[in-house]
């Protein structure tokens, strides 16, 4: 046992987020051994080369899970139910299960439905850090340093498991916050999932334009800054958007009202309304930026 009691971490999904946490925990001496499970054998080979993990499996097997202290699920959120179902007969009694997914109600539902014996030891977590890159090659040290990590404890939560998972994220430098899963999903629909949808929609508009080549040729930093997140992993984002579809449908409706207002300002050549609208948006953006420092 090391100082946290985490001898063996089983990481399911050895990508940007899971891989980055594994790197930090290994460097901090908080885990002795990391076993990687991933459906992508090439990705596992890269993870082994980069020492993100110590051993690799392409499926969820008893041998991989034997004596696991923590199982961390870091796959697209839509895979959680099936993964929990596969884990159920194989988990040692003491194992803590956690996830890193961008939506939390689905995670708690999957834990409750497929891991009822372990439910008190299941801890839903979400680091608010990442990028448009993916896979083990994108895993990096220090990704979570100074970033928020949201924990969504549930009604049957075992406090020891919650503390152990909290300690892992703190070891990676994250600042911990607690929200209910419903609060979490409503907030991140607005500040993460909606902007991703809008970036995808805007890039589609450009990509389907007759002048596509010229538009892309001359696009500069405004285009780059607004569209970076449209380069994110399609499978990760399809799962997030579907898992949070109800909030997102409401938010898209609200966004259409914003666009309709802009149409009206342009039609009426209303410079004052546009200036006020942009000024109010700038004030919100400036307020956010100040809160970051
Ligand atoms: N990318 C971000 O910015 C970010 C930030 C915070 C949280 N998240 C969440 O973290 C999770 C992982 O995202 P990521 O960005 O690390 O993605 P990633 O693509 O870098 O890594 C996911 C890995 O899971 C593997 N995988 C997919 N299905 C699997 C399955 N059924 N069994 C085993 N392995 C499987 C993939 O091969 C891949 O290596 C997602 O739930 C995402 O919502 C992402
Ligand atoms: O930086 C990015 O590319 C991100 O999209 C990171 C981001 C975000 O929207 O802020 C994306 C999804 C997460 O669940 C958490 C962080």
User: Is 275 part of a structural domain of the chain?
Assistant: yes
Is residue 192 in contact with ligand 2, taking CB distance under 6 Å?
yes
Per-residue pLDDT, 45: 98
Is residue 131 in contact with ligand 2, taking CB distance under 6 Å?
yes
Ligand 2 centroid – CA 187 distance (Å):
13
232: its two tokens: 């994110």
12 and 78 both lie in a single domain: yes
What pLDDT band is residue 293 in, cutting at 50, 70 and 90?
confident
Last residue of a domain, one of 162, 179, 196: 179
Least confident residue range of 4-18, 81-95, 277-291: 4-18
User: Is 106 part of a structural domain of the chain?
Assistant: yes
87: its two tokens: 């884990």
Residue 232 CA, closest ligand 2 atom number: 3
Residue 138 CA, closest ligand 1 atom number: 20
CATH number at residue 83: 3.40.50.720
Residue 228 CA, closest ligand 2 atom number: 3
Residue 100 CA, closest ligand 1 atom number: 10
For 63-82, write each residue's pLDDT tens digit. 999 999 999 999 999 999 99
In this prediction, the answer to ipTM > 0.95 reads yes
169 and 213 both lie in a single domain: no
pTM of this structure: 0.97
Per-residue pLDDT, 2: 54
Is residue 236 in contact with ligand 1, taking CB distance under 6 Å?
yes
HEC secondary structure over the chain: CCCCCCCEEEEECCCHHHHHHHHHHHHCCCCCEEEEECCCHHHHHHHHHCCCCCEEECCCCHHHHCCCCEEEECCCHHHHHHHHHHHCCCCCCCCEEEECCCCCHHHHHHHHHHCCCCHHHEEEEEECCCCCCCCHHHCCCCCCCCCEEEECCCCCCCHHHHHHHHHHHHHCCCEEEECCHHHHHHHHHHHHHHHHHHHHHHHHHHHCCCCHHHHHHHCCHHHHHHHHHHHCCHHHHHHHHHHCHHHHHHHHHHHHHHHHHHHHHHHCCCHHHHHHHHHHHHHHHHHHHHHHC
- How many domains does the chain fold into? 2
Last residue of a domain, one of 163, 179, 195: 179
Is residue 243 in contact with ligand 2, taking CB distance under 6 Å?
no
175 and 205 both lie in a single domain: no
User: What is the domain range of residue 288?
Assistant: 183-292
Q: Per-residue pLDDT for 11 more than 70? A: yes
138 and 274 both lie in a single domain: no
To the nearest 10°, the Cα dihedral for 198, 203, 204, 209? 140
21 and 61 both lie in a single domain: yes
Say if residues 1 and 7 touch (Cβ distance below 8 Å): yes
Alpha-carbon dihedral sign for residues 16, 19, 23, 28:
positive
100 closest CA partner among 157, 47, 144: 144
Q: Per-residue pLDDT for 266 more than 50? A: yes
For 83-138, write each residue's pLDDT tens digit. 999 999 999 999 999 999 999 999 999 999 999 999 999 999 999 999 999 999 99
231 and 115 both lie in a single domain: no
201 and 69 both lie in a single domain: no
Ligand 1 centroid – CA 126 distance (Å):
12
Average pLDDT over residues 249-257: 98
Q: Per-residue pLDDT for 4 more than 60? A: no
Residue 129 CA, closest ligand 1 atom number: 5
156 and 270 both lie in a single domain: no
Sheet (strand 8-12) strand order: 55-57, 33-37, 8-12, 70-73, 96-99, 122-127, 148-151, 175-178
45 closest CA partner among 14, 71, 66: 14
CATH number at residue 197: 1.10.3660.10
- For atom 6 of ligand 2, which residue has the closest CA? 130
Is residue 190 in contact with ligand 2, taking CB distance under 6 Å?
no
Last residue of a domain, one of 150, 179, 208: 179
For 216-250, write each residue's pLDDT tens digit. 999 999 999 999 999 999 999 999 999 999 999 99
Identify which ligand lies nearest to the alpha carbon of 127.
1
Ligand 1 centroid – CA 274 distance (Å):
40
- Angle at the Cα of 244 (from 242 to 246), degrees rounded to 5? 100
Identify which ligand lies nearest to the alpha carbon of 147.
2
27 and 147 both lie in a single domain: yes
Alpha-carbon dihedral sign for residues 250, 252, 254, 260:
negative
For 133-191, write each residue's pLDDT tens digit. 999 999 999 999 999 999 999 999 999 999 999 999 999 999 999 999 999 999 999 99
80 and 148 both lie in a single domain: yes
Q: Per-residue pLDDT for 3 more than 70? A: no
19 and 82 both lie in a single domain: yes
Per-residue pLDDT, 136: 98
Ligand 2 centroid – CA 229 distance (Å):
8
Say if residues 11 and 34 touch (Cβ distance below 8 Å): yes
- For atom 5 of ligand 2, which residue has the closest CA? 131
User: Is 1 part of a structural domain of the chain?
Assistant: no
228 and 134 both lie in a single domain: no
Is residue 16 in contact with ligand 1, taking CB distance under 6 Å?
yes
Ligand 2 centroid – CA 232 distance (Å):
9
Average pLDDT over residues 44-67: 97
264: its two tokens: 């009206």
Query: How many C-beta atoms lie closer than 10 Å to residue 125's C-beta?
Result: 24
């Amino acid at each position: 046992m090391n100082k946290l009691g985490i001898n063996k971490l089983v990481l399911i999904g050895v990508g940007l987020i899971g891989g980055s946490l594994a790197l930090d925990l290994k460097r901090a001496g908080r885990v002795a051994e990391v076993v990687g499970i991933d459906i992508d054998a090439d990705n596992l080979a890269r993870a082994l080369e980069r020492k993100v993990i110590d051993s690799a499996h392409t499926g969820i097997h008893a041998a991989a899970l034997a004596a696991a202290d923590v199982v961390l699920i870091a796959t697209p959120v839509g895979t959680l139910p099936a993964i929990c179902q596969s884990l159920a007969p194989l988990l040692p009694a003491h194992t803590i299960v956690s996830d890193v997914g961008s939506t939390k109600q689905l995670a708690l539902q999957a834990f409750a439905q497929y891991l009822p014996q372990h439910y008190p030891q299941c801890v839903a977590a979400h680091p608010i850090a990442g990028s448009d890159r993916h896979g083990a090659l994108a895993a990096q040290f220090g990704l979570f340093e100074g970033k928020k990590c949201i924990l969504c404890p549930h009604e049957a939560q075992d406090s020891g498991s919650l503390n152990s998972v909290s300690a892992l994220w703190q070891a990676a430098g994250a600042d911990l916050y607690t929200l209910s899963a419903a609060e979490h999903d409503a907030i991140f629909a607005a500040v993460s999932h909606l902007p991703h949808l809008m970036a995808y929609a805007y890039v589609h508009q450009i990509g389907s334009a007759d002048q596509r080549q010229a538009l892309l040729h001359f696009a500069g930093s405004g285009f780059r800054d607004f569209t970076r997140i449209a380069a994110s992993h399609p499978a990760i984002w399809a799962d997030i958007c579907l898992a949070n579809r109800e909030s997102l449908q409401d938010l898209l409706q609200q966004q259409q009202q914003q666009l309709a207002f802009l149409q009206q300002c342009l039609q009426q050549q209303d410079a004052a309304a546009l200036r006020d609208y942009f000024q109010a948006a700038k004030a919100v953006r400036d307020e956010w930026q100040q809160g970051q420092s």
